[in-house]
Chains A and B, each alone.
Chain A
Amino acid sequence: MSDKLVISGLSKTFSSERGTTVALNDFNLSVGDNEFVALVGTSGCGKSTLLSIAAGLESHDDGRITIDGEDIVSPGLDRGVVFQSYTLLPWLNTLQNVEFALLGAGKSKSEARDIAQSHLELVGLQGFEKAFPSELSGGMKQRVAIARALSYRPKMLLMDEPFGALDALTRHHMQELLTGIWEKHRLTVLFITHDVEEAVYLSDRVAVMTNRPGRIKTIVPITLSRPRHYDMVSTQEFQHLQRKVLDAIRSESLAAASLASALA
């Protein structure tokens, strides 16, 4: 499997009046072509920072980050981004929100309409084309955002806790929807979450980060078969993988707690 996204020795330090924060230090990770990788870690360990750098929205200090061998220096249409806040434009209806991206990507009006329509169907929102974001539930908004990010056919999808604000039931629906799309269409996905079950259920590999400054602590390959079903969650294999990821995260939380008590 060839690598799509390659990150090596990446470092990022934020400096402000309140001091400097080393968000990432010597971060290494490769995401293969058509691979689904979940990135998990404690809150504040640098996950969003990494995603912003991959999206080209944030610069980095040291190291390299490439997509298809080319350095990432700015945002690009080769990467689709799904933010945790749905970022639907409230003055545009569902169809127009997807068209907005396509028109921005240089598609003609009629082309944009057709593609937007078919992507709304892909996420199960046919019949809601004329609805405004204020009429949609959180899950539906995030579906529009996913349709929008997929519509202009990026090489890879970057998702920052996209289901973090949804209730448990809706989150399960969205996870099934996303695996469904992924298994049918094959995409490269870097998916950030702090929900371990979600990470195991969705991905081919789960990368666990250390506390700040964030590095990869360990990578757990997810050997579950595809297509995935929610019944798998209760199998021993699933539980075992979930435990492995949890243990890695927990040792980090414990390290943070003992550091805090040592300082106190």
Chain B
Amino acid sequence: MPQQNKRSGTNRRFALGGKISTAEYLGISASVFAVLTILWYLTTYFGLVRPLFLPSPAKVISRLAELWASGQLFIDLGISIYRITFGFLVSTVIALPIGILIGSYRGWEAAIEPFVDFIRYMPVVAFVPLTILWSGTGDAQKLLIIFIGTFFQQVLLVMDNVKSVPKDFLNLGRTLQMPELRILQRIVLPSALPAIWDSMRISLGWAWTWLVVAELVAATSGLGYRITTAQRFFQTDLIFGYLLILGVLGLTTDQAMKYAGRKLFRYLNVR
């Protein structure tokens, strides 16, 4: 019998809805990174691509080490992390109540949703010139771009999260004669919270993109700014290094939020 289980277990790894252990999962993902790194190394080792286009892993690492030692890396990182934290928090703090409001009351939805949808379809990059006119090229402009790129999406995501609370949950509150506001507080919000958490995790990924976009176009500091100046001096190794850092930052924040979500909402899959 255990034999049977084991075999069907391995068969299911690449089956629809199949299951996999955490160790196996990590093993597969780490292997993909390892293989890609080796391919990268071999390509540069055999000189298949000009170093200006694709620097070797060793060169990228030594460039990063140099920036680490000089402290430049932490200055660039610090300013970018400050901007995204601030921009994302401001956007989230305003988007949450509005999303909850329009997800709960159709009247407010009618007032706000079409307008938000309208703005959401305007390309964020097109706002860059406007935000520079409004607020110069300092931090405020970066925050504005992060805000415009994140806020409208967040509002719509949260609205959908709130709307997917089962109708019977509301009816339960009504049969208990709970006042509407209590139903919102005690039933709707806790019920939508896991999905809202996920929406925040996804929108944080977009916020990173908009931060770097803003820093690429007009800035005097930050990761994106350093990438543009590097391009001017053909420092491809620096561009690669910073791209890798951005990837690592994104991956770790995303995984951290996923992990926190699993801990916070442990009740959802106790089994």
The CA of A112 and the CA of B130, in the complex, are separated in Å by: 59
Is the beta-carbon distance between B190 and A87 smaller than 8 angstroms? no
> Main SS of chain B's interface residues?
helix
Is the beta-carbon distance between B176 and A77 smaller than 8 angstroms? yes
Q: Is A57 an interface residue (CB 8 A)?
A: yes
Which of these binds chain A: B13-21, B77-85, B89-97, B164-172?
A: B164-172
The CA of A55 and the CA of B171, in the complex, are separated in Å by: 9
Q: Is B187 an interface residue (CB 8 A)?
A: yes
The CA of A210 and the CA of B186, in the complex, are separated in Å by: 40
Q: Is B174 an interface residue (CB 8 A)?
A: yes
Is the beta-carbon distance between A87 and B270 smaller than 8 angstroms? no
Q: Is A85 an interface residue (CB 8 A)?
A: yes
Q: Which of A93, A105, A131 contacts B176 (CB 8 A)?
A: A105
Total number of A residues with any Cβ neighbor in B under 8 Å: 26
Is the beta-carbon distance between B177 and A89 smaller than 8 angstroms? no
Known A134-B267, A134-B268, A135-B270; judge A89-B176 contact (CB<8 A): no
Is the beta-carbon distance between B176 and A91 smaller than 8 angstroms? no
Is the beta-carbon distance between B176 and A132 smaller than 8 angstroms? no
CB nearest neighbor in A for B169? A87
Q: Mark out the residues of chain A between 71 and 96 whose CB falls within 8 Å of any chain B CB in the assembled complex.
A: 75-77, 79-81, 83, 85, 87, 89-91, 93
Q: Is B175 an interface residue (CB 8 A)?
A: yes
CB nearest neighbor in B for A52? B171
CB nearest neighbor in A for B178? A104
B-side contacts of A90, CB under 8 Å:
191, 267-268
Q: Is B22 an interface residue (CB 8 A)?
A: no
Is the beta-carbon distance between B175 and A134 smaller than 8 angstroms? no
Q: Looking at the assembled complex, report how far the CB atom of A57 sits from the nearest CB atom of chain B, in whole angstroms.
A: 5
What is the size category of the interface that chain B forms with chain A? 20 to 34
Known A77-B177, A87-B166, A89-B190; judge A134-B271 contact (CB<8 A): yes
Is the beta-carbon distance between A81 and B171 smaller than 8 angstroms? yes
The CA of A132 and the CA of B172, in the complex, are separated in Å by: 18
The CA of A131 and the CA of B187, in the complex, are separated in Å by: 19
The CA of A79 and the CA of B169, in the complex, are separated in Å by: 16
Q: Is B3 an interface residue (CB 8 A)?
A: no
CB nearest neighbor in B for A93? B267
A sample of 14 more A-B contacts (CB under 8 A), given A57-B175, A91-B267, is A57-B171, A57-B174, A75-B174, A76-B175, A76-B177, A80-B175, A81-B172, A83-B171, A83-B172, A89-B187, A90-B267, A91-B190, A91-B193, A135-B270
30 A-B residue pairings within 8 Å (CB atoms): A55-B175, A56-B174, A56-B175, A57-B175, A75-B174, A75-B177, A77-B176, A77-B177, A81-B175, A83-B172, A85-B166, A85-B168, A87-B169, A87-B172, A89-B190, A89-B191, A90-B267, A91-B190, A91-B191, A93-B267, A100-B186, A104-B176, A104-B178, A105-B176, A132-B267, A132-B270, A134-B268, A134-B269, A134-B270, A152-B176
Q: Which residues of A contact B (CB under 8 A)?
A: 55-57, 75-77, 79-81, 83, 85, 87, 89-91, 93, 100-101, 104-105, 131-135, 152
Pairs A-B, 6 closest by C-beta atoms: A104-B176, A132-B267, A75-B174, A135-B270, A81-B175, A75-B175
